[in-house]
Amino acid sequence: MIEFNNRIAAQRLILKAVNRIVWDEELFGLSKGAIDRWVSKNALRDDLELVLRIERAAEKLFFLSNKSQEQVTEEYQRLSADVAELTRSVEASVAQYAKHIGMGKVCSN
């Protein structure tokens, strides 16, 4: 139970960080389809560091979602720690990108 809800909470944190920037269209989720749409709607380069970091976080969360019914293993715990680290790296990338485009486009909430 905790694993499932924590995984959703981890996604919410990443999206919240990304969507602090006022995009032409916000990021709706961490699925491949949602990320591809967001990159396209906002005319972002797909090799942008922020995009790559979001994709890496999404891959880890996808792996964890496939393990949702598993026992908590060392591998699971390691990956959970990886996701926390990736969340921080996405937040750092967002801050950097916000600075690049000007603070006027960053939301406080």
Considering the rule CB under 8 A, would residue 72 count as an interface residue with other proteins? no
What is the closest distance, in whole angstroms, from the C-beta atom of residue 5 to other proteins in the complex? 6
C-alpha 42/C-alpha 54 separation (Å) is: 15
Considering the rule CB under 8 A, would residue 34 count as an interface residue with other proteins? yes
Considering the rule CB under 8 A, would residue 55 count as an interface residue with other proteins? no
Site size for other proteins, by CB under 8 A?
A: 29
Considering the rule CB under 8 A, would residue 62 count as an interface residue with other proteins? yes
Subset of residues 73 to 102 that bind other proteins, contact rule: CB under 8 A: none
- Which of 23, 37, 79, 82 is the binder for other proteins (CB under 8 A)? 37
